[in-house]
Amino acid sequence: MKYVALIFTIVSFILASCRNKDKKEDPPVTVTDTAVTVMPDVPVEIKKDSPVVKTGQTRGLDTNSSGSEKNEILANIDKHLVSASQYTASPSGGITNGTVSITNTLPDATFQKVMVEVKIRKENGDEFKTDYYTVVNIEPGGVKVVKLPNTSQGATIITHIIKVKSTELTKGEFILSGIHFVPN
């Protein structure tokens, strides 16, 4: 009789924990107001005095180029893959309508994947939070835009490119860049 009661208790516990599910799985997590929307390519107007060279004019950068030129680009990636933020900061604190645009100024390098670090700082300079966003396929002269979630705190946004993947620069590997770059 004890065994029947024990088995009944165990079966009841298992059924209650499954909540009539066909299979055991973690419930889906829905986070509101933090979705990242990557907008389609935005046409970019490149001025003659811009550091962006017209697509088609190359410096000879290819998979066989010297490592020193590639290392210089990767170490100073924020000069070549420019990230800029636009947002509205409310007087009481908080950021709304935030976007980060990433512009590829290199005429002969396509980025298959880019990770951008977005730091939100309070008015006193303290860091409120840091988020990381990944964008894909940024052609020479191309721009990708990431929509940021609204925040309840923060006054400024600081962005940096921290990882890149490019056939021309990294031989297709997703590597650290900028201040985190370590040459091979």
Domain-located, residue 13: no
Domain-located, residue 146: yes
What is the model's pTM?
Answer: 0.66
What is the extent of the structural domain holding 78? 26-180
Domain-located, residue 19: no
Domain-located, residue 31: yes
- C-alpha angle 161-166-48 in degrees, rounded to nearest 5: 70
Tokens describing residue 14: 């298992």
> In this predicted structure, what is the pLDDT of residue 3?
75
- Token match 């005095």: residue? 49
Tokens describing residue 24: 């055991």
Chain centre distance of CA 66: 28
Domain-located, residue 1: no
Amino acid at 154: G
The three-state secondary structure class of 113 is strand
User: What is the number of domains present in the chain?
Assistant: 1
Domain-located, residue 9: no
pLDDT tens track, the chain, 184 positions: 777 777 877 777 676 666 555 554 444 433 333 334 444 444 444 444 444 444 444 454 554 556 788 889 999 999 999 999 999 998 888 999 999 999 999 999 999 999 999 999 999 999 999 999 999 999 999 999 999 999 999 999 999 999 999 999 999 999 999 888 888 7
Domain-located, residue 119: yes
> In this predicted structure, what is the pLDDT of residue 61?
58
Tokens describing residue 123: 């008015």
> In this predicted structure, what is the pLDDT of residue 180?
83
Domain-located, residue 15: no
Tell me the CB-side half-sphere exposure of residue 133, using CA atoms within 13 A. 24
